[in-house]
Homo-oligomer: A and B are copies of this chain.
């Protein structure tokens, strides 16, 4: 003891920072440890976590689910109307939207606007008033895209005659679907529904989609994983930056389009439309990620996150081990850069299915691949690398198919483990566009947000119940 007290005092302070200040003032050497209790101090969550952490059932389930994610081979195989791809849409007035389920009267402005637009596009109503009356009368069904293996950016609207990209997992034969990117400005996904918007959707249905369908038959299937991997080496994170990926896709499609025997003036319009939109690949990136995460889904007891999605009000999460259940919470705000004339008060809450990219280890998780993204979402290239590094603490492993040049080709952190999110108090980072809160104004900025902690706490609670029920264990 005497030896200890004769040494100079070296203290590690674990708790309130003010404790450290007194010691420092008294001349002591003190380091403050940045520590918080797991789940921000939620005791039940801590007990659930202690139970599930290193539970052999969960560990094995995560290995299985993560391996199926790694093995997935997303491939663009076709283009077809939603009613052909999703049989339920052929017989019902069904409109799909982004995020977890939500009733009409709770929806945000952009999603309501986009649903009215879809009703006009389908010809179910001739005016906004008539469209809203159909909704009030309960004639229109509204469900999440994710309930039908589909994803859509922002409002994420898919109605029966929406043309969809069909992405198939070569390893399993299972398919996922996504709509096509309309470009920027006044577009349905930001809630715009003027005649100009509907007219573009008609052209996409009548010319763009059939032309691409023929071209795909000519080109053969397009493997998306190597294309995404290349784009990550060309400054994209394939969520908010898709310039390289769109170029690589066109490198495959342009020769096929020109060889497909279709009229030159149609080809010109189709090619000009796609080349004019650096975000065109985004939807395909999302469908590829959906196929990868669907591969990992429905593994009993797995704490792997298979869906993160936002409906403009709530953020929703699904785990592999809890199947189709949603765990929702109020969406976190977006920190970002606003276009001139707009600010945080104009912003809708975080919106869209595009967080499926982060769920699959790209987007915000792969920000290190895209130092130039910070010009769009804010921060510095070092922040981008720090984000990619931080995600390594909450994931099951690395995806060797997606490597990050500026981190010496480290694999992207992938497979979010809901347990680790809670244990480490590190939230999944998401790059995202920001929509105006009013329908139809469109994108007003872009930035970085996080998935809200309560989703993960609820999900882990539900998973712990399932494991306890199965094993009969009590703590």
Contacts and interface: CB of A to CB of B under 8 A. Distances in A.
Interface of A: 233-236, 243-244, 247-248, 250-251, 254-255, 258-259, 264, 267-268, 271-272, 275, 371-372, 380-382, 405-406, 408-409
Q: Which 9 A-B pairs have the closest CB atoms?
A: A371-B405, A247-B247, A233-B372, A234-B235, A258-B268, A234-B234, A372-B405, A255-B272, A251-B275
Given A233-B235, A247-B247, A255-B271, 7 more contacts: A234-B235, A234-B243, A235-B235, A235-B244, A247-B248, A247-B251, A371-B405
15 contacts: A233-B371, A233-B372, A234-B236, A234-B243, A234-B372, A235-B235, A235-B405, A244-B247, A250-B251, A255-B271, A255-B272, A258-B268, A259-B268, A371-B406, A406-B406
Contact of A275 (B254, B271, B275): B254
Contact of A408 (B233, B236, B243, B381): B381
Contact of A380 (B233, B264, B268, B408): B408
Contacts of A267: 258
Given A268-B259, A381-B406, A406-B381, A244 B254 contact: no
A382 B406 CA distance: 8
Contacts of A251: 247, 250, 275
A264 to B, nearest CB: 6
A272 B382 CA distance: 39
A13 to B, nearest CB: 33
Nearest to A407: B381
A236 B405 CA distance: 12
A243 B230 CA distance: 10
A388 to B, nearest CB: 13
A258 B266 CA distance: 11
Contacts of A372: 233-234, 405
A234 B251 CA distance: 16
Contacts of A254: 250, 254, 271, 275
Nearest to A252: B275
A381 B408 CA distance: 6
Contacts of A380: 408
A264 B235 CA distance: 33
A408 to B, nearest CB: 6
Nearest to A373: B405
A218 to B, nearest CB: 12
Nearest to A404: B371
A382 to B, nearest CB: 7
